[in-house]
Amino acid sequence: LPLVAICGRPNVGKSTLFNRLTGTRRSIVGDEPGITRDRIYGEVEWAGRNVRLVDTGGVVPDDEALIPSEIFRQAKVGLEEADAIIMVIDGRTEITSPDIELARLLQRGGKPLFLAVNKMDTAQLEAGAENFRTLGFKEVMPISAEHNSNIGDLLDAVWAALPPEFVAEEPEENQEGEDDEFDEDSYGPQSLPGAQEPDEDDEEAPRERKLRSHGEHVLRETKVAIIGRPNVGKSTLLNALTGTERAIVSPIAGTTRDAVDEVVERDGHSFRFIDTAGIRRKGKTTEMAEKLSVIMSRKHLEDADVALLIIDATEGVTALDANIGGYAHESGRSVIILVNKWDAVTKVGPDGLTLYDGKPPADRKAYEEQVRHALKYLDYAPLIFISALEELNVEEVFKKTQLVARERRKRISTGNMNRFLDSVDFQRASVPMNKRVKIYYMTQAAVAPPTFVLFTDRDVKLHFSYERFLANEVRDAFKFIGSPIWFKVKARN
C-alpha cells in the first residue's frame, strides 16, 4: 500500500488527525514526556483506495532546544519511506523557526507535500490559512482535525498525488538465465506452449517448471548502471547508494571485471553497481569527459538490467542527456530517471521566497513535465527527485530499482494475453488503414525486456504508431513499470 506520513512539531494536532483518519485511538495524545514513542501506523480507506498512514510524532524532550533535532529525525524517516507527506501546523499560532526548518527539509525531499493548517474552526481562521503560504507549499489546506472539517478535501488532494495503483499479475519467480535472451529461432509457434491454441496455455512448459524449482533459494541480483553526462552526480549517488551504513559485499574476487563492481544487499535483494571505477573516472577536458560519459554509459548499459539515468536539476535535460537517454531506451534495459540536486533548486529562504539562480523554487509537477517532454520515449520510466549529496530520497532508488527489475521479468500467460487482445479496441488506434495488420493472437516470447510475438496476416514491420498504440494498451493492462516493450511480427501461414 502507498504510505502517507504526517509530520509536524508537537501539539499541532498530528495525533488528532491520525485518529480522525484511522478511526482509532492508538496514537496517544499527550504522552509521557521523555519517552520516545514508536512511529504509529494505521490504515485509511478513502475514495475506494487503502493507504497506510504513519504518524511520525514522537514524544519530544521538554527541552526546547532538542525539539528540532527530534522532529527532523522523524521527518527524515517520513521522507525516505512515504509516497506523500502531510505537514501539520497549528493555524492559531505564529510560524515558528522549527516549522520553517521542517518545511525546508520536506521541500528538499521531492515528495508530494501538503500543508494542513489545523485548528481552523471558524470562517475567519480559514482565511488566515493563507498566511501560511509563506512557508512555500503549493498545497495549503485549512482543516480542523477535531471538528472534522475539510478532511475530505485534504484526502482528495493527497490521494490524487499518490502513484497509480499497482494491479499487475504476480511476476514469475526465479527464471534466471535461459529465458533472458530473446532467441530469434525459438519463437515460432512450435516452440511456444499454447501459441497455437491460445485458450489452453495455462499449463506451463516443463522446462520452466524445472528452472523455477532450481532457483528457489537463489538471491535475486539486479545489475545496475549509473549513467549520465559529466557532473550530474553519478559518483556522489554511487557513494550514497553504497554508503557505510549499509552492508557492502565488495569487491567480488575473480575477474578484473568483477573487481570494480560493488554489491549492496538490502531486503533480501542484491544490487550490483556495474563498473564503479568507471563511474568515478573523470575526463581531463570537458570534451573528453563528455565523450567518455557516452562511451561509459553505453558500455554499462550492455551489462545492466536497470539503468539509473541522472539529470542535473540545476541544468535540466540537455542534448547530451537526451542522447544518453536514447541509448538507454534502445538497449532494452529498464530505466529510472533520477532528477538529482533537487536540494539546489528548491531552497527556500526564511522569507519563503529565496531563489535559486534568480528563479523561484522549482515546482515538482512542472519540473517533471519538462523532463518528460524532453525524454518522451522514456515515458515508461519512473522519475524520482533526489539529492545524492544530502542523501534525500535515495532509499526510493533502491525500492524502484527492485520494482522495475521485477517488472521486466514478468511473464503473462498466452491465455491472458489473448483475452487482453480480444479486449483491445483497434478502432481507436490512429493508424492509416493500409498500415494496419490483423493480429490473430499474441504471446510473450521473452522477458527482460518483455517481448511479444504477434501472429499476423502479413509479414510487415509494424507502423510506429500502431506499435505505440499496442504498447500503451499492453502497459495499461499489465504495467511493466520501467521497462520498454518489444514486439516481433510473425506472419501466420
**Which residue, among 87, 62, 114, has the nearest Cα to 12 in the 3D structure?**
87
Binding to ligand GDP (CB under 6 A) within 368-407 occurs at 387-389
> Which of residues 7, 71, 232, 362 is near ligand GDP by CB under 6 A?
232
Q: How far is residue 116's CA from residue 122's CA, in Å, rounded to a whole number?
A: 15
With binding defined as CB under 6 A, does residue 104 bind ligand GDP? no
* Cβ 394 to ligand GDP shortest distance, Å: 10
With binding defined as CB under 6 A, does residue 346 bind ligand GDP? no
Q: Which is nearer to ligand GDP, 231 or 270 (CB)?
A: 231
Sheet holding 140-142, edge to edge: 40-46, 49-55, 3-7, 84-90, 113-118, 140-142
**Which residue, among 417, 454, 462, 455, has the nearest Cα to 436 in the 3D structure?**
462
Check if the beta carbon of residue 307 is closer than 8 Å to that of residue 333: yes
Q: Which is nearer to ligand GDP, 222 or 387 (CB)?
A: 387
Check if the beta carbon of residue 387 is closer than 8 Å to that of residue 342: yes
* Cβ 387 to ligand GDP shortest distance, Å: 4
DSSP secondary structure of 79-126: HHH-SEEEEEEETTSPPPHHHHHHHHHHHHTTS-EEEEEE---SHHHH
With binding defined as CB under 6 A, does residue 264 bind ligand GDP? no
Is the torsion defined by CA of 266, 270, 274, 277 positive or negative?
positive
First-to-last CA distance in the chain? Answer: 47
Q: Which is nearer to ligand GDP, 401 or 443 (CB)?
A: 401
* Cβ 359 to ligand GDP shortest distance, Å: 15
> Which of residues 16, 96, 174, 231 is near ligand GDP by CB under 6 A?
231
Tell whether 277 is in a known binding site.
yes
Q: Which is nearer to ligand GDP, 59 or 389 (CB)?
A: 389
Check if the beta carbon of residue 386 is closer than 8 Å to that of residue 332: no
Tell whether 340 is in a known binding site.
yes
Q: Which is nearer to ligand GDP, 211 or 237 (CB)?
A: 237
* Cβ 323 to ligand GDP shortest distance, Å: 15
Is the torsion defined by CA of 342, 111, 75, 481 positive or negative?
negative
* Cβ 81 to ligand GDP shortest distance, Å: 20
Q: How many residues bind ligand GDP (CB under 6 A)?
A: 15
* Cβ 315 to ligand GDP shortest distance, Å: 11
**Which residue, among 343, 366, 314, has the nearest Cα to 105 in the 3D structure?**
343
Q: Which is nearer to ligand GDP, 78 or 228 (CB)?
A: 228
Q: How far is residue 166's CA from residue 164's CA, in Å, rounded to a whole number?
A: 6
Tell whether 206 is in a known binding site.
no
> Which of residues 344, 374, 424, 489 is near ligand GDP by CB under 6 A?
344
Stretch that binds ligand GDP, among 91-99, 151-159, 229-237, 244-252 (CB under 6 A): 229-237
| Surface-to-core class of residue 400, CB atoms within 10 Å of its CB (0-12 exposed, 13-18 middle, 19+ buried) | buried
With binding defined as CB under 6 A, does residue 292 bind ligand GDP? no
Q: Which is nearer to ligand GDP, 75 or 388 (CB)?
A: 388
With binding defined as CB under 6 A, does residue 110 bind ligand GDP? no
> Which of residues 134, 235, 270, 472 is near ligand GDP by CB under 6 A?
235
Three-state SS string over 265-288 comes to EECCEEEEECCHHHHHCCCCCHHH
Tell whether 90 is in a known binding site.
no
**Which residue, among 289, 286, 274, has the nearest Cα to 224 in the 3D structure?**
274
Tell whether 156 is in a known binding site.
no
DSSP secondary structure of 402-453: HHHHHHTT----HHHHHHHHHH--GGGS---GGG---EEEEEEEETTTTEEE
Backbone angles phi, psi at 187, to 5 degrees: -105, 10
* Cβ 408 to ligand GDP shortest distance, Å: 25
* Cβ 281 to ligand GDP shortest distance, Å: 9
Across-strand partners of 248?
264
> Which of residues 300, 341, 406, 409 is near ligand GDP by CB under 6 A?
341
Q: Which is nearer to ligand GDP, 235 or 472 (CB)?
A: 235
Q: Which is nearer to ligand GDP, 340 or 451 (CB)?
A: 340
With binding defined as CB under 6 A, does residue 340 bind ligand GDP? yes
Binding to ligand GDP (CB under 6 A) within 417-446 occurs at none
Pick out the residues of the known binding site: 8-15, 55-59, 118-121, 228-235, 275-279, 340-343
Residues that bind ligand GDP (CB under 6 A): 228, 230-236, 340-341, 343-344, 387-389
